[in-house]
Structure 1
Amino acid sequence: MGMIGATLVVMNDGGSTEVGRTAALTGPNWQCSVTVAVGLVTLVAKQLLGEESLGSVGRPYKVAPPALTKVDMLYPAPNSVKFSGGGHNGALVEIRIVSGPSGAIVPPAKEVKGGVWEMTATGWPLGTYQLTAFQKISIPGNAWIESPHFAFTTTIAVPDPTDIKYTVADYTPTFSGRGVTGATILIKKQGGAEAAPDATVRDSQWTSKSAQVWGPMLSQNVDLKQQINGQSSANWIRLIVTIAPLAPVITAVTPNGLSPDITGTCWPGAVVDLVYSDSPVVHKPVQTNGNWAFRRTEPFAYGVRHTVTVTQLAGGQQSPSASSTFDVQPQVPTPLITEPLSESQVGRDLKVKGTQGMAGATMQLRDAARDVPLGAPLNLLSAGDWEIELKGLEFRAYTIDAQQTFQTYPSLRSEYRGFTVALMPPLFTVPTPEADLPRTATLSGTGIANGRIFVWLDGERDFLLEDVVIGFDGRWQGQITLPVGVTTLRARQTFVDANGKLQTSSDSPALVFNIVPAAPFIETPVKNEHVGYNTVVSGFGYPGDRVTVSLTDATRTVLGTATVLEDRSWSVKSTFDQPGDRYDLVAVASSGGFDSARSAAVSVNLGRYLPSIATPTAGQWVSEPLTFAGLGRAGTGQLVSWYNPEHVWAANLPVTGTGWRVVPTQPLPAGANWCRFKQTISDGADRSTASDWVESERFELIKPASQ
């Protein structure tokens, strides 16, 4: 109670500090707001009305800290919650569980320092909690003054998984992160398909590798959530997965001439780009089920290092590149030796022949047993067959091979070819097999220079030719005489080699030929002689041979035959039925069923036309000057003595179609005479060029007695 009009002043128990004052009282009852420290406090009241009254009896009060108005909460870890807020310095903040899952332990009260406080509860089971928080201060007597309680709610939920990331190996993602120990992490592709098997969190860590190969892909959405004890985290945490294509693999660069085969692997269905270092052209190899292959048709330059580079486009992304280097070599074929035959015997001089040569390459033979070059290298101007000549080889066994080199690129060596160099049998060049030789003939052939030749009849022991020296040019010859008939010869040769050793060849193959008569010789008529209807052909031959004279016309007209006499002469009286023309006469000798070669042909001019001698007539007595006349064809005539045709009475006398006439200027012998007349023919009526001889009848030339 107080006095109306008075002012009430409230002081602390000591009365030294005013803690509150009222306005002038308007009634006996009063109240006053005071500001005092929390805790135990004793207050006294005084009233002032002109003067100050004595203080009232002190009254004790318990002053509580202010009530909390807000509690902040954070969830730093699963099953944990951090409480914090503002408070009264020096007070203790305490939290009590009003309701909620059992097993939660409240952290001890925390002192307010600097006007703030915080505490962290751990191990709280998941669930919703009704809580109160208040401040309290201690007072003597082990007592507390508590502020009013502040009620609030907190929920311990399954947290979202954190620190989520992924790695990729072989196009397969592996996911990892942090979570609540014992929880299960669900990993799903957008749409709900499994991205990776569910993962169990151990020691707050989890990891899960996809059970499938994903391959290259761009921006695949993956959602993750955490579950434990039937509860799930609030959110699906999205992770965007991008898997870039790896560089395609070049598995092999296989030589294939001047353009190698390139093979490799890639992601199935990817588009592979291939580029060579010598061209900007981008090639698209064909790929099947992740395997690709390519070979460029255009050849590469050899002697240059080339690079092939590949990339692949897959999952909407370009891969890194992969490269490989290569160089090409021209395909130098392996030579093939075709001659000499394997294990054959050959002479010291031979030609090694082969095939599969390369144009522009150099072919070299090798003595494989001694590993030294054999013969000079051969520059090949064309592809295919080749031959290398070897001379003066040693008499021994050889094993050779061949190798060709194109520029700096060698071929493989050919297969070995073995043979033996021996003294080979000599060769006959005359005669050839089944040829004809006269009884006396010259044999000839070839062999080793400075060797010796031996020739004999097959089956006989005596030599026809013995120790015939072979010339430096490798040629030999020798004369033989044999009877007519089928003849078989063999030959061998000997040679002293550089070591002084006598080398003897094997016998030559049997040479079968014919010994035939020698061709006869036609002595008369002589070449270009004019002959008539009846002509005697004569000559020389081998006694006893039968000579046949014939023309060389298409039917080989036989003019006659004769036997060669012991004096080697023969003659055939021939009668020509052919028209006047130029003809060739030949003669052939025969003996024992064998014919000689034809003789040398003798060309004659056949004249069958017979001019006439009309004057003097038969038995006419004439005197000089004597006139000779007759008929003929256009040309020139010749009048000769019947006794001696070389005694010409008139030469080059003109003959016309009306005949001929001449008075010899030289004296004729007295008495009985005959003459002969012959003319050339130039009227072109046929192919005749001359007439036959015509003979006059006998006439008597009378001369004066003084002559």
Structure 2
Amino acid sequence: MPMTTDGTDENPLGGPHEDIQADGEVGNRSDLVNLPLESAHISFDSIIPPPTIDMIKNISGSPYTGAGTGISGATVFIYLTGVAEGIVGSGRVESGKWSGAITYPVNRNKTSIDALQRLDGLYSERSAPMEIYRAVVTYPQPNTTESANGLIFRGIGAPNSKVRVVKSPPNHDEVLSAETSIDEHGNWQAPLTAGLLNGPLSVSALVSYVGTTSIYTLPVAFVVHEAPPFITNPPANSLQNQTFNLSGLGGVAGSTVQVFLDLSESKVGEAFLTGDAWTVPVSVRPGPVSLVAIQISDPPSGRGHPRAFKIRPAKPEQPVIDFSDDAIVRFSGKGHYDPHFPTRIQLTVKTGQGNAPAIATVQNDGTWATSATGWELGSRTLEAIQQIADNAGGWIDSLPFEFEVEKKLPPVSNVRHTDDYQPTFSGEGVDRATVSLFVGAEIATPVVVRNRQWSTQALESWGPTNKRKISIRQELDGSEGWMEYEISILPREPGIDVPPEDGLNPVFSGTCWPGAVVNIGFSDSNHSFTATVVGETWTFCRPTPFTDGLPCTIEATQTVVGLTSKPGSLTFKVYRERLKPAIRTPLPEQETDSDLTVTGDFGMSGASMRLWNLQDGKPLGDPVVLGQDGPWSVHLTGLAIKTWFITAQQTLNDRASPDSEVRQFDVVVMPPEFVRPLPGGDLTRRAVLSGTGRRDGLVTVWRRGLDEPLLRDVQIGVDGTWEASVVLEVGDEILWATQTFEGKTSKPGLDVPCRVVPVAVMPESPTPEEFLGATVTVSGFGVPGDLITLKRGECVLGTAPVLDDASWSIPATLELPDGAVTLSVMASKGEYHSIPSEWECQVRLFLPQFIYPGPGLWVSPLLAVTGLGKPGIGTLLSWYSADVVLAGPITVTDAGWTASPTEPLHSGAQWCRFRQISDTGAPMSDDAESGRFDVRVDSPDNA
């Protein structure tokens, strides 16, 4: 019968499935089928019997097949026993039988199921529970390598079942073990009874239970290998060197035996086998070790039984011996270090006097150190043994190392010296010993060591010294200790004198060792210089000047006997010579205005120039920072009218120059100056005179030939300017002026010769916007009696006087070329001329022609006017007014033009005009005029 597991109306109780845990608790099983409930409560009061389940005892996997009996047409539901909602399978009953797939819980070796059936909405009770066991081969594990020798299969299943191990189907006819029974705890084991070849193998267990169908467990694949080799020599726990031979039996000719540290992948040796017996040279670390052997064939064997050995550490090396402390002898050296097994060094005095040093532990950096006391001078024999822990409370000894030790009187130690030219030597030594210093002969007074210290000074000054070797002897009770000592004394820093401040190229000097090489450097340069040395003095002058007032540092070293001193340094400032300024203007006793500019020479770029009033010792005006060497100027304003005495002084980088020579000058009321007219300039009859002067002063203007001033007491404004209007006659004039301030009048100013000329005229007609033809009349207004001249460029077109009514008019004829033309008019009175008035206008000399109507013709009001012209565009205009357009725009071709008025012409005598422009709109022609014609309604044009 088909099993339904799609969850459609097949769970009579509904809710999530649950599973029985190993301890019997009920837990949720989300992997089981969830089916909906038909009702919240189910009544089992019915006459439907529960279904039956055919006996199942062992299963090998999930799902597995279940079957049984029931009522035909009913649906059977399989549950985990004790779980109300845990459906694990279902099936439809047909002909009284049902079957279907049942899900076995994950990670369970034993479970229990029961069943109920549903028919027409009625439910049976659950059937009796049935226990089911998972049958599995648990040993060997999959994908492992096993020896066939002594192999025992193990597994689980339903108690009292029968088990026989076979090769996995389809080779299950090959039986590998005798039949055995599963005990009451569900376990079984069966030794291998069949012979096996090396290589891959897959096995299953055939499991049988009375009344059920036998099953095969799931296959277990593993590899069968040879039995491992076993070690026979050396004896277990024997003492061995780090390299020795390991031997044994169980080999197979043609394979390889490999030896490993037990429980690790560290291989320590291997050998090719020629038979059952084998020998492998091995190299192992010191300390307790356990070795195992493996045979490499196809497939490899497992590891054999381990055998333990005690491995000697290496013999100790010659230690380092230190007698620097008279009371203590120190030993140190290198040893074996193992973080898991402590190692130590044991020293024993075999012959001679002295206490044995303490046992020394080897540190993690592989070093050890120990010491002994109470040793006298003399020789003795020591034995050193390296020991490593055997992991059983004992030690594994190395082979002994013997060495001789002689305690001699040591040389002095920690020798040092001062850097004085007559040095003092000092150091440490043995109490009561005498220390002497030699360079051939004694170089210092011998001294006795007290409290382990000694000190003595050289007998004479050495000066700078480079690697001079001396011998130092320590002597006590007839025993001597010698050492060589090398001494170097650097030259002292050379002395540096403070340089003079004046001048940017000072001469530097200082002291040095005679014959030294003195090198000079400066902070403002990367260059190095060599000074001149004479005796104990050096001098140097740098060719490049220093920066004025900028701090700079000189650094000097001296080199003697190949040694260079530390640098000596000095920070200094030098300054340019502060030039004495010279005042150029005002000149001595010169008269000047209250506002003036004092000028001078010998200025210094970057300096601040200041003027001083000698009469009160106060500064005059603001200081001026000079941008260049040489000329300078300082502007003064508002000086009182009196005699002044001033000096100039400049300051650069806070250093002042000497004062200039005293300059005397007088501040007076100066004559005013003319701005209009300038000497040789022109004025018009009605003109505005203007100029400059002392503000708030009064200006009086005089004209030569008149006893009275032309202008009197013209006020000068606060901006220092004045102006006033005058009326003059045309002709030559000479003007001058004086000014008065606070009751004091200046001297007359300079004469200003000038000319009075007519004022410039401008034409009233034509205007610049008008286009001019071949004839034109230029007219305007002027001063009666003046002569007006009309020019085109330099060509005079005509002249005319200005009439009594102030008008003038000049007719003129214009010739080619036409286009833009510049015209000018000028007014003259004798030899005195106004400035020309120019304007630009457009001249058009081309005239189109009228063909029809001819002069005197009678025409109709709507006539067709024709003519000739240049290709372009034309306009027919009224003769009476050029603003009235009769027709247009009209296309003009080489063949001519034709135009009809847009409105009928009035009867009577008529004229018209024709004007042309180019295709771009530029004017091309003057206005052409037609002859007189008569417009009549009954003209021949209307016939």
- The TM-score normalised by the length of structure 2 is 0.42
Residue 732 (structure 2) pairs with residue 486 (structure 1):
yes
Alpha-carbon distance in 1 for matches of 2:681, 2:516: 77
Q: Structure 1 regions of 5+ residues with no counterpart?
A: 1-249, 265-269, 314-323, 497-501
Change (3 A) 1:668 1:326: closer
Q: Does residue 353 of the first structure (1) align with residue 353 of the second (2)?
A: no
**For residues 34-73 of structure 1, what are the structure 2 equivalents within 5 Å?**
none
Give the equivalent residue in structure 2 for 1:534.
775
Measured in 2, the distance between the counterparts of 1:263 and 1:484 equals 84
Render the CA deviation track for 1:224-266: whole Å, top value 9, x for unaligned. xxxxxxxxxxxxxxxxxxxxxxxxxx999877621235799xx
d(CA) in 2 for partners of 1:504 and 1:336? Answer: 32
Query: Alignment partner for residue 622 of structure 1, among 841, 849, 859?
Result: 859
Cα contact 2:875–2:890 (8 A) shared by 1 = no
Aligned match of 2:850: 613
SS across alignment from 1:436: strand
Residue 758 of structure 2 contacts residue 829 of structure 2 at CA under 8 Å; is this kept in 1?
yes
Q: Match of 1:587?
A: 825
Residue 489 of structure 1 deviates from its aligned partner by 0.6
How far is 1:645 from its partner? 2.6
Correspondences of 1:273-422 after superposition (within 5 Å): 283=530, 295-300=541-546, 302=549, 328-422=574-668
Please name the residue that 1:166 is paired with: none
Report the Cα offset of residue 667 of structure 1. Answer: 4.3
1:702 aligns with 2:940: no
* Cα 1:254–1:550 shift into 2, 3 Å: same
Structure 2 CA distance for aligned equivalents of residues 538 and 253 of structure 1: 90
Distance 1:697 1:299 in 2: 99
Report what 2:22 is aligned to.
none
Query: In the alignment, which residue of structure 2 is the partner of 1:193?
Result: none
CA offsets, 1:1-46, max 9 Å, x none?
xxxxxxxxxxxxxxxxxxxxxxxxxxxxxxxxxxxxxxxxxxxxxx
CA distance, structure 1, for counterparts of residue 626 and residue 919 of structure 2: 66
Amino acid at match of 1:694: A
CA positional deviation for 1:638 = 3.5
**2:855 corresponds to 1:656:** no
Code of the aligned partner of 2:674: F
How far apart are the structure 2 equivalents of 1:414 and 1:638?
Answer: 86
What CA distance in whole angstroms lies between the structure 1 residues aligned with 2:915 and 2:556? 105
**3-state SS, counterpart of residue 841 of structure 2:** strand
SS state at 2:606 partner: coil
Are residues 640 and 306 of structure 1, via their aligned partners in 2, closer, same or farther at CA, if it must alter by over 3 Å?
A: closer
For residues 282 and 382 of structure 1, the distance between their equivalents in structure 2, rounded to whole angstroms, comes to 32
State the AA in 2 paired with 1:692. D
SS of residue matched to 1:536: strand
Distance apart, 1:276 and its partner CA: 6.7
2:777 alignment partner AA = V
Deviations 1:660-682 (A, max 9, x none): 32222334343222222222234
Secondary structure (helix, strand or coil) at the match of 1:507 reads coil
In 2, Cα distance between the equivalents of 1:276 and 1:368? 48
- The aligned residue for residue 546 of structure 1 is 787
Q: How many Å apart are 1:618 and its aligned residue?
A: 1.3
Deviations 1:412-441 (A, max 9, x none): 222222211111111111122212221111
Paired residue type of 1:588? M
Residues 306 and 581 of structure 1: is their aligned pair in 2 closer, same or farther, counting only changes over 3 Å?
closer
Alpha-carbon distance, 1:477 to partner: 1.0
Name the residue aligned to 1:564.
802
Q: In the alignment, what sits opposite 2:757?
A: 516
Q: Hey, what's the Cα distance between the residues in 1 that align with 2:767 and 2:668?
A: 55
Query: Structure 1 residues 635, 464: CA separation in 2 closer, same or farther (over 3 Å shift)?
Result: farther
> What is the CA distance between 1:457 and its match in structure 2?
0.7
What residue in structure 1 maps to residue 876 of structure 2? Answer: 639
Q: Is the 1:351–1:389 contact (alpha carbons within 8 Å) kept by the matching residues of 2?
A: yes
Give the drift of 1:394: 0.5
Q: What letter matches 2:699 in structure 1? A: I
Query: How do 1:648-687 and structure 2 match up within 5 A?
Result: 648-650=884-886, 652-657=888-893, 658-682=895-919
SS in 2 for 1:617: coil
The answer to whether the 8 Å contact 1:333/1:358 transfers is yes
The 2-side partners of 1:607 and 1:326 are apart by: 87
- Give the C-alpha shift of residue 479 in structure 1: 1.1
Aligned-pair identity in percent equals 38
Task: Measure the CA separation in 2 of the matches of 1:559 and 1:380.
Answer: 61
- For residues 281 and 638 of structure 1, what CA distance do their matches in structure 2 show? 95
* Secondary structure at the counterpart of residue 849 of structure 2: coil
For residue 818 of structure 2, what is the amino acid of its counterpart?
G
SS in 2 for 1:614: strand
Provide the secondary structure at the position in 1 that maps to 2:675. Answer: strand
Task: Determine if the alignment matches structure 1 residue 471 to structure 2 residue 471.
Answer: no
Partner in structure 2 of residue 210 of structure 1? none
Residue deviations 1:368-397, cap 9 Å, x none? 232110011223344443322211110111
Q: 1:697 to 1:398 in 2, by over 3 A?
A: same
Assess if the C-alpha contact under 8 Å between 2:861 and 2:906 holds in 1: no
Tell me which amino acid in the other structure corresponds to 2:725: Q
Letter in 2 for 1:585: L
Deviation, 1:405, is 0.8
Contact 1:493 1:504 in 2 (8 A): yes
Q: CA RMSD for the aligned pairs?
A: 4.0
Structure-2 change in CA distance of 1:274 and 1:339 (3 Å): farther
Read off the aligned partner of 1:406 and give its amino acid letter: L
**1:573 to partner: Cα distance:** 1.3
CA distance in 1, matches of 2:809, 2:630: 63
The aligned residue for residue 68 of structure 1 is none
Contact 2:702 2:710 (8 Å CA) reproduced: yes
Aligned to 1:575: 813
Larger Rg: 1
Amino acid paired to 1:645:
S
Q: Are residue 596 (structure 1) and residue 834 (structure 2) matched?
A: yes
Q: What is the distance in 2 between the residues matched to 1:485 and 1:251?
A: 83
Q: 1 CA distance for matches of 2:904 and 2:664?
A: 93
| CA-CA distance at 1:651 after TM superposition | 5.4
AA aligned to 1:507 is P
Q: Which residue of 1 aligns with 2:927?
A: 693
Name the SS of the counterpart of 1:542 in structure 2: coil
CA gap 1:605/1:296 in 2 versus in 1, 3 angstroms: same
1:616, distance to aligned residue in structure 2 (A): 0.9
Q: 1:272 to 1:467 in 2, by over 3 A?
A: farther
The one of the two structures with greater contact order (alpha-carbon pairs below 8 A, sep at least 6) is: 1
Secondary structure of the residue that 2:914 maps to in structure 1? strand
Structure 1 residue 460: deviation in Å?
Answer: 2.0
Q: CA deviation at 1:278?
A: 5.7
Distance between the aligned counterparts of 1:511 and 1:562, measured in 2? 34
The answer to whether the 8 A contact 2:583-2:598 is kept is yes
Code of the residue aligned with 2:822 in structure 1: it is D
User: Structure 1 residues 667, 472: closer, same or farther in 2, change over 3 A?
Assistant: farther
After superposition, give the CA deviation of every residue in 1:547-594 in whole Å (9 maximum; x if it has no partner): 111234xxx222222111112211111111222211121111111212
Q: Is the 8 A contact 1:272 1:285 kept in 2?
A: no
Question: What number of residue pairs does the alignment pair up?
Answer: 433
- The Cα of 1:271 is off from its aligned counterpart by 8.8
Aligned AA (2:935): L
